[in-house]
């Protein structure tokens, strides 16, 4: 521990703590635009300067030391910060009112806090075009302040290396290698760049207008589904505490927006488990291409297709839950409801930007004979639609989902958090193998935010080795172990591997709210505390659920009995499974 004084206030912190973090402990917020709890300091923006013994240094990358006396906010520091901020603003467009980050922008907030007069700034804004080639995220160089958070996340946290710096000085631009468009780069559309961007430079590819058009066409029967992670995050946009589970209110809001039926992706999660557990039991007993990888996360799928094509055989062939719901809505449900499948339009509300890409991945995404899912909007976009419609979300009465695609188990709802898919699959796989139910339904070893979690599960004497990874940047050692064992002809280190591309899982996906404002503590944006609270929201729903097992979902049982036939059978395979192909890192 080291003791120091910050603005004459004594503070004791662990060795290695930055001055910036030490100051937060004594309620001193030093402004910063580039430092974020999820990334190492890069000393990029120059806003966090402080004085130590009269010398000016950056507090984000200077460790606190014994006896230090730090000044954070004298007239000279204020003056320099204002100059730095004016320089940043000098090539930032002044169109806050039309920006999707308006009122939720760190740059805007800091400009207000430091009291910069916008009119005294001469602007030289970048004329570089927007990059919306992925259809999932949009990168607008004009709004980029080159803080480097997204590059840091993309390279060092996610290990994707799609984003990078091009050129230097005033000409610097954040883009793909050699100015490659993102769609032609290794980008996996996880959207973690968008979740960490302090401004409106990287945002969702906005599909709210397209969804409005679907709803406005009265010929359509537009149905909607929400992913598990949406229910515990949307509330933040309306002043609810982190992790509040607002499923009933969201259903009500979706009905008011005009959706003909409100379904739940959790139904699809239960369906996924039936197919995936069946597949796992089959592959496990036949020792067929083990370990089996979960395939619910499209960014993870994209990552393996680009970085580990030799491991495509390891994937479960199951589609992700929302694709399953799309396929079932346009076949089974349309038939049952007696409506023309061509008129059924499916909208998915997802915590994820990669899902926008997934719906057009390949021809198996059109298994119903139509595009199985028509549009994807993120949790953030849904919040915008609710606000624009004048719905008083906070005071809405809770409603139920429409059946049969609305029923779900506790196992389904934990799909949104790291370890959840594995837990749900093991509950059902245990039943399939032994004919009995698991006594204890949770596996503590695979809960929580540790990057790689491993466990050995005893299924009546048979040991199943599992690994759970969250954050695709943490997957390399696991893949290495798997591929080395394979090369040496040894038994695989794991039988079943779950990967979610975003740290923490879908609850912290690239499309989740990034709220700011007086009611939230700084630093704003996603962090591990928020990840834990949102996870808790889903885990609580599971523990309190009457049914916590996918194979006991009555609507799913009926679906197989009336329509699909056998799990893993021909019809199920056609509608609910996909295939994978190697993709080049760069198209050029």
Partner 1 sequence: MDNDACLGCQTGDKWRRKRGSLIMALHEIQGVKGYVGWQDAMDLAKTMNIPLARVYEVLTFYNFFKLVAPGKAVISVCTGTACFLKGNDKVLERFKSELGIKEGESTPDGLFHLQVVRCVGCCGLAPVCVVNGRTYGRMTPEQVPVILNEWREAFKEEA
> Has 437 been annotated as catalytic?
no
Residue 177 engages partner 1 in binding (rule: CB under 8 A): yes
Residue 178 engages partner 1 in binding (rule: CB under 8 A): yes
Residue 543 engages partner 1 in binding (rule: CB under 8 A): no
For residues 297-326, which are near partner 1 according to CB under 8 A?
A: none
Query: Could you tell me how many residues make up the chain?
Result: 588
Residue 588 engages partner 1 in binding (rule: CB under 8 A): yes
> Has 447 been annotated as catalytic?
no
> Has 276 been annotated as catalytic?
yes
Q: Which is nearer to partner 1, 158 or 320 (CB)?
A: 158
Q: Are 401 and 264 in contact (CB under 8 A)?
A: yes
Which residue in the list 143, 506, 535, 541 is annotated as catalytic? Answer: 506
Q: Which is nearer to partner 1, 156 or 366 (CB)?
A: 156
Q: Which is nearer to partner 1, 100 or 155 (CB)?
A: 155
Report which DSSP code applies to 233.
T
Residue 170 engages partner 1 in binding (rule: CB under 8 A): no
| Residue from the set 78, 130, 167, 282 that interacts with partner 1 by CB under 8 A | 167
| b/e 447-473 (16+ beta carbons within 10 angstroms → b) | bbbeeebbbebebeeeebbbbbbbbbb
Cis peptide bond prior to 131, omega within 30° of 0: no
- Please choose, out of 160-168, 355-363, 443-451, 544-552, the segment that lies near partner 1 by the rule CB under 8 A: 160-168
What is the smallest separation between the CB atom of 168 and partner 1, expressed in angstroms? 5
Count of CB atoms within 10 A of residue 487's CB? Answer: 8
Count of CB atoms within 10 A of residue 396's CB? Answer: 19
What is the smallest separation between the CB atom of 202 and partner 1, expressed in angstroms? 16
Q: Which is nearer to partner 1, 42 or 185 (CB)?
A: 185
- Please choose, out of 109-117, 156-164, 193-201, 371-379, the segment that lies near partner 1 by the rule CB under 8 A: 156-164
What is the smallest separation between the CB atom of 43 and partner 1, expressed in angstroms? 17
Residue 150 engages partner 1 in binding (rule: CB under 8 A): no
Measured CA to CA, the distance from residue 375 to residue 344 in angstroms comes to: 12
Dihedral of alpha carbons 532, 533, 534, 536, sign = positive
What is the smallest separation between the CB atom of 147 and partner 1, expressed in angstroms? 16
| Residue from the set 71, 125, 166, 212 that interacts with partner 1 by CB under 8 A | 166
Taking the alpha carbons at both ends of the chain, their separation in whole angstroms is 53
Q: Which is nearer to partner 1, 146 or 324 (CB)?
A: 146
- Please choose, out of 154-162, 330-338, 363-371, 516-524, the segment that lies near partner 1 by the rule CB under 8 A: 154-162
Residue 162 engages partner 1 in binding (rule: CB under 8 A): yes
Residue 183, CB half-sphere, CA atoms under 13 Å: how many? Answer: 13
Number of residues in contact with partner 1, rule: CB under 8 A?
17
> Has 236 been annotated as catalytic?
no
> Has 506 been annotated as catalytic?
yes
Which residue in the list 355, 356, 453, 532 is annotated as catalytic? Answer: 355
Task: Find, among 114, 80, 19, the residue nearest to 9 by Cα.
Answer: 19
Count of CB atoms within 10 A of residue 113's CB? Answer: 11
> Has 279 been annotated as catalytic?
yes
Find the helix or strand (DSSP H, E) in which 454 lies: strand 452-459
Which residue in the list 316, 348, 409, 550 is annotated as catalytic? Answer: 316
> Has 554 been annotated as catalytic?
no
Q: Are 230 and 377 in contact (CB under 8 A)?
A: no
Q: In what order do the strands lie in the sheet with 9-13?
A: 9-13, 2-6, 69-71, 49-52, 55-58
Phi, psi of 376 (to 5 degrees): -120, 130
Phi, psi of 147 (to 5 degrees): -75, -25
| Residue from the set 29, 73, 164, 450 that interacts with partner 1 by CB under 8 A | 164
Q: Could you tell me how far CA 339 lies from the centroid of its own chain?
A: 34
Q: Which is nearer to partner 1, 63 or 309 (CB)?
A: 309
- Please choose, out of 163-171, 246-254, 318-326, 503-511, the segment that lies near partner 1 by the rule CB under 8 A: 163-171
Residue ranges in 241-353 assigned as alpha helix (H): 247-257, 265-286, 298-307, 321-328, 334-337
371 by DSSP, 3-state: which? Answer: coil
Q: Which is nearer to partner 1, 163 or 466 (CB)?
A: 163
What is the smallest separation between the CB atom of 179 and partner 1, expressed in angstroms? 8
| Residue from the set 136, 163, 377, 405 that interacts with partner 1 by CB under 8 A | 163
Find the helix or strand (DSSP H, E) in which 344 lies: strand 344-350
- Please choose, out of 17-25, 46-54, 177-185, 374-382, the segment that lies near partner 1 by the rule CB under 8 A: 177-185
| Residue from the set 308, 520, 524, 586 that interacts with partner 1 by CB under 8 A | 586
- How far, CA to CA in Å, does 309 sit from each of 47, 222, 305, 372, 581? 43, 37, 5, 26, 7
> Has 316 been annotated as catalytic?
yes
Backbone torsion region of residue 573, taken as left when φ is above 0, otherwise alpha when ψ lies between -120 and 50, otherwise beta: alpha
* 573: exposed, middle or buried (Cβ count in 10 Å: 0-12, 13-18, 19+): middle
Q: Which is nearer to partner 1, 100 or 172 (CB)?
A: 172
Residue 176 engages partner 1 in binding (rule: CB under 8 A): yes
Measured CA to CA, the distance from residue 475 to residue 80 in angstroms comes to: 42
Measured CA to CA, the distance from residue 125 to residue 173 in angstroms comes to: 12
173 by DSSP, 3-state: which? Answer: strand
| Residue from the set 67, 117, 122, 168 that interacts with partner 1 by CB under 8 A | 168
Residues interacting with partner 1, by CB under 8 A?
Answer: 155, 161-168, 176-178, 185-186, 585-586, 588
Known catalytic residues?
276, 279, 296, 316, 355, 358, 363, 506
């Amino acid at each position: 521990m080291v003791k120091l004084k910050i603005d004459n206030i004594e503070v004791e912190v662990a060795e290695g703590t930055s001055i910036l973090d030490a100051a937060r402990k004594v309620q001193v917020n030093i402004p910063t635009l580039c430092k974020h709890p999820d990334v190492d300091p890069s000393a990029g923006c120059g806003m966090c300067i402080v004085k130590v013994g009269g010398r000016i240094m950056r507090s984000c990358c200077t460790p606190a030391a014994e006896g230090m006396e730090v000044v954070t906010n004298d007239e000279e520091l204020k003056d320099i910060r204002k100059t730095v901020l004016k320089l940043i603003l000098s090539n930032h467009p002044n169109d806050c009112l039309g920006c999707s980050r308006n009122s939720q922008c760190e740059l805007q907030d800091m400009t207000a806090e430091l009291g910069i007069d916008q009119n005294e700034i001469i602007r030289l804004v970048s004329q570089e075009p927007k990059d919306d080639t992925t259809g999932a995220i949009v990168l607008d160089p004009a709004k980029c302040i080159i803080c480097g958070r997204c590059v840091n996340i993309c390279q060092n946290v996610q290990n994707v290396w799609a984003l990078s710096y091009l050129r230097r000085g005033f000409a610097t631009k954040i883009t793909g290698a050699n100015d490659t468009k993102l769609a032609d780069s290794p980008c996996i559309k996880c959207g973690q760049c968008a979740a960490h961007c302090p401004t409106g430079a990287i945002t969702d590819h906005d599909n709210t207008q397209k969804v409005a058009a679907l709803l406005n066409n009265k010929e359509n029967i537009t149905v909607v589904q929400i992913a598990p992670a949406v229910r515990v995050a949307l509330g933040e946009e309306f002043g609810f505490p982190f992790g509040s589970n607002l499923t009933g209110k969201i259903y009500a809001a979706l009905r008011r927006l005009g959706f003909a039926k409100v379904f739940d992706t959790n139904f699809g999660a239960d369906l996924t488990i039936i197919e995936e557990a069946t597949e796992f039991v089959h592959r496990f007993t036949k020792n067929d291409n083990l370990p089996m990888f979960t395939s619910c996360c499209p960014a993870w799928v994209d990552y393996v297709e680009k970085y580990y094509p030799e491991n495509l055989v390891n994937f479960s062939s199951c589609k992700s839950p929302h694709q399953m719901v799309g396929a079932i809505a346009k076949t089974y449900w349309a038939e049952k409801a007696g409506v023309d499948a061509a008129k059924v339009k499916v909208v998915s509300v997802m915590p994820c930007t990669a899902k926008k890409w997934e719906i057009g991945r390949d021809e198996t995404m059109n298994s119903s004979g139509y595009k199985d899912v028509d549009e994807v909007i993120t949790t953030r976009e849904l919040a915008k639609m609710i606000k624009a419609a004048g719905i008083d979300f906070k005071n809405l009465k809770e409603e139920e989902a429409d059946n049969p695609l609305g029923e779900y188990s506790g196992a389904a709802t934990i799909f949104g958090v790291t370890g959840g898919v594995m837990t749900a699959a093991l509950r059902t796989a245990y039943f399939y193998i032994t004919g009995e139910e698991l006594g204890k339904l949770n596996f503590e070893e695979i809960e929580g935010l540790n990057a790689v979690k491993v466990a050995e599960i005893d299924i009546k004497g048979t040991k199943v080795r599992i690994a759970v990874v969250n954050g695709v940047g943490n997957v390399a050692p696991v893949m290495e172990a798997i591929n080395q064992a394979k090369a040496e002809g040894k038994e695989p280190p794991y039988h079943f591997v779950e990967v979610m591309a975003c740290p923490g899982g879908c609850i912290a996906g690239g499309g989740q709210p990034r709220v700011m404002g007086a009611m939230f503590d700084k630093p704003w944006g996603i962090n591990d505390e928020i990840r834990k609270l949102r996870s808790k929201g889903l885990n609580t729903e599971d523990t309190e659920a009457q049914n916590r097992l996918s194979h006991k979902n009555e609507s799913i049982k009926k679906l197989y009995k009336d329509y699909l036939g056998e799990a893993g059978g021909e019809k199920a395979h056609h509608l609910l499974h996909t295939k994978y192909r190697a993709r080049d890192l760069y198209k050029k």
